[in-house]
């Protein structure tokens, strides 16, 4: 659809969504009254972006602490709630998601539509290898699969021994598609090879991912493709914004498209929250166009991305995130005045031929000058070939990271499979003085 025609449909939905929220949610009514905004003021998309205040995750947490359990942004009676999900609360007060019956169906429809764009069809078997708990990703994939009339295989993840059993299930069932996190797909491939099974024998045609950056990173995407001989598709925004697949690639287009008629997305300056021009970096700000139970209206993601408006191979006219979501802005750390994004290190390492598949980024916070140490796995064959090959790999990493990050980084090379793998999301950044001291002492000894 041409941009102008679609934008008119989006504008109509924004008027309806803001009217609904103003009428039913004290949360929005209070914020908007204080800002001098009323839904009647929306005459254009520019009005919406200029006049509607942004909200943050902390605002949602405060609202739920003030009005347990669902916050004063719940816009339907509690007896209309169909599912309750949420965050784990491991880093603070958990956020509770109340999904109404109508929203559950709308999410299923949206995900089925987007999964069709990925190339999935009725009758395909979709293997879902992620946690079935409060985590939204698994459930969103499941209901999208069901709405698509695909064969759903809700295998799950996280329990001891599940990965090795997943290998044998995959070989037996030979599903069409796999859903999980990129790091778990690579871990699964390692376990399969340890069992003497080639992951390509699973017969997968499509692997689609969310939960962490990676599927749009060329090095990581290529490693997954090489392991499975299948197409890799990236997706994902925020649990609060489900249908989170509203940021998703297609069968023909890599990176992510912003499916603007499902969730209206602006990419904005993270300080002013004003839209940045296409071709520039910013943080996505999301607005539901179909959710009624807990609609998010101009929710700041805190992530970092770069968007473009360009012709895409699939023919869709949505804005495009060619490199997907880079990661969270607050995941960045500053070393000697330079902002470091973990995803930049991930990307660099995954493009190296001898990279063994895992690494750790260790930060020291103990002195006036913060230090960075990267512990990197090297392929077993390269490690076995001797010290000369190991040092060449180490020097290659040091030079590459210095060029990319602008600072000198200490590097420790360890054999492949030395570092722990994850059954869900990889945790690679460690801010720990003692670990840094131990590794640093080892490096000094090796010198």
HSE (side-chain half, CA atoms, 13 Å) at 9? 13
Across 272-354, the runs of DSSP E, i.e. the strands, are: 281-288, 297-300, 303-306, 320-321, 325-328, 333-335, 338-340
Q: Among the three residues 274, 309, 329, which one is the final residue of a domain in this structure?
A: 329
pTM, two decimals, is 0.84
Question: How many CB atoms are located within 10 Å of the residue 2 CB?
Answer: 7
Q: What is the band of 206 on the pLDDT scale with cuts at 50, 70, 90?
A: very high
Structure confidence by residue, pLDDT tens digits, 152-185: 999 999 888 999 999 999 999 999 999 999 989 9
Residues 342 and 208 in one domain: no
Rounded to 5°, the CA angle 219-207-191 comes to: 75
Task: Tell me, yes or no, whether 316 and 284 share the same domain.
Answer: yes
Please classify residue 134 by burial: count the beta carbons closer than 10 Å to its beta carbon, then call 0-12 exposed, 13-18 middle and 19+ buried.
Answer: middle
- Helices assigned H by DSSP within 25-159: 26-35, 45-51, 57-66, 101-117, 136-147
Report yes or no: 285 and 268 within 8 Å, Cβ to Cβ. Answer: yes
Round to whole Å and give the CA distance between 325 and 323: 7
Let me know whether 355 and 281 are in one domain. no
* Cβ atoms of 143 and 107 closer than 8 Å: yes
Residues 295 and 421 in one domain: no
Same domain for 189 and 96? Answer: yes
Q: Are 294 and 98 in contact (CB under 8 A)?
A: yes
Residue 371 has pLDDT above 70, yes or no: yes
Peptide bond into 243 cis (omega under 30): yes
Residues 154 and 33 in one domain: yes
64/62 Cα distance (integer angstroms): 5
Residue-level pLDDT at 424: 65
Kindly report the number of other CB atoms within 10 A of residue 145's CB atom. Answer: 26
Say whether both 10 and 111 belong to one domain.
Answer: yes
Do 234 and 378 fall within a single domain?
Answer: no
Q: Is pLDDT larger for residue 180 or for residue 426? A: 180
pLDDT given for residue 408 in this prediction: 84
Expressed as residue numbers, the domain containing 94 is: 1-329
Q: Which secondary-structure segment (H or E) carries 204? A: none
Which of 287, 310, 329 corresponds to the end of one domain? 329
- Domain check: are 247 and 371 in the same one? no
Query: Using one digit for the tens of pLDDT, what is the confidence trace for 305-337?
Result: 999 999 999 999 999 999 999 888 877 777 766
- pLDDT tier for residue 213 given thresholds of 50, 70 and 90: confident
- For residues 344 and 290, membership in a common domain is answered with no
Q: Domain holding 403: CATH number? A: 3.30.300.30
| Model pLDDT for residues 400-424, shown as the tens digit of each residue | 998 888 888 889 999 998 998 877 6
Domain count, the chain: 2
What SS3 string covers 264-295?
A: EEEEECCCCCCECCCCCEEEEEEEECCCCCCC
**Residues 44, 159 within the same domain:** yes
Phi, psi of 429 (to 5 degrees): -100, 125
State the pLDDT at residue 29. Answer: 98
**DSSP three-state, residue 414:** strand
Instruction: State mean pLDDT over 215-229.
Output: 92
Res 90: pLDDT: 46
Q: State the Cα–Cα distance between residues 74 and 88, nearest whole angstrom.
A: 20
Give the integer Cα–Cα distance in Å for 186 and 355.
Answer: 13
Question: What proportion of the chain, given as a percentage, has pLDDT over 70?
Answer: 93
Dist. CA 399–CA 415, nearest whole Å: 20
Domain boundary among 329, 354, 376: 329
What is the residue whose two structure tokens read 């914004």?
241
Contact yes or no for 54/28 (Cβ under 8 A): no
> Can you give the CATH number for the domain in which 282 is found?
3.40.50.12780
Regarding whether 193 and 181 lie in a shared domain, the answer is: yes
226: closest CA among 393, 389, 350? 350
């Amino acid at each position: 659809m041409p941009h102008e025609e679609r934008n008119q449909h989006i504008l109509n939905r924004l008027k309806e969504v803001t009217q609904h929220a103003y009428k039913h949610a004290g949360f929005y009514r209070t914020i908007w009254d204080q800002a001098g905004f009323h839904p009647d003021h929306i005459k254009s998309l520019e009005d919406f972006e200029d006049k509607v205040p942004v909200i943050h995750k902390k605002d949602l947490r405060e609202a739920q602490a003030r009005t347990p359990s669902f916050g004063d942004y719940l816009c339907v009676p509690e007896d209309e709630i169909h599912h309750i999900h949420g965050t784990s609360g491991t880093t603070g007060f958990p956020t509770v998601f109340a999904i109404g019956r109508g929203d559950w169906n709308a999410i299923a429809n949206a995900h089925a539509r987007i999964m069709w764009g990925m190339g999935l069809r009725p009758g395909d078997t979709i293997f879902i290898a992620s946690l079935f708990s409060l985590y939204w990703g698994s459930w969103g994939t499941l209901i999208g699969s069901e709405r698509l009339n695909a064969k759903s295989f809700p295998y799950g993840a996280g329990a001891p021994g599940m990965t090795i059993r997943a290998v044998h299930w995959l070989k037996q069932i030979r599903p069409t598609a796999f859903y999980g996190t990129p790091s778990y797909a690579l871990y699964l491939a390692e376990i399969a090879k340890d069992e003497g099974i080639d992951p390509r024998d699973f017969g997968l045609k499509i692997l689609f991912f969310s939960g962490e950056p990676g599927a749009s990173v060329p090095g990581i995407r290529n490693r997954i493709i090489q392991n499975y001989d299948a197409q890799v598709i990236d997706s994902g925004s925020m649990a609060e914004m489900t249908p989170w697949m509203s940021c998703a690639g297609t069968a023909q287009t890599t990176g992510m498209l912003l499916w603007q008629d499902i969730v209206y997305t602006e990419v904005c300056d993270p300080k002013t929250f004003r839209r940045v021009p296409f071709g520039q970096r910013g943080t996505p700000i999301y607005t539901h166009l179909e959710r009624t139970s807990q609609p998010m209206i101009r929710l700041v993601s805190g992530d970092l991305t770069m968007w473009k408006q360009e012709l895409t191979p699939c023919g869709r006219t949505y804005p495009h995130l060619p490199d997907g979501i880079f990661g969270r802005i607050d995941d960045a750390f500053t070393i000697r005045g330079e902002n470091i994004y973990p995803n930049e290190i991930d990307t660099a390492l995954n493009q190296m031929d001898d990279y063994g598949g895992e690494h750790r980024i260790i930060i020291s916070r103990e002195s006036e000058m913060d230090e960075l140490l990267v512990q990197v796995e090297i392929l077993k064959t390269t490690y076995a070939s001797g010290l000369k090959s190991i040092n060449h790999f180490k020097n290659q990493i040091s030079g590459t990271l210095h060029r990319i990050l602008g600072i000198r980084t200490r590097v420790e090379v360890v054999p492949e499979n030395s570092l722990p793998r994850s059954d869900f999301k990889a945790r690679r950044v460690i801010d720990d003085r003692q670990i840094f001291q131990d590794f640093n002492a080892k490096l000094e000894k090796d010198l």
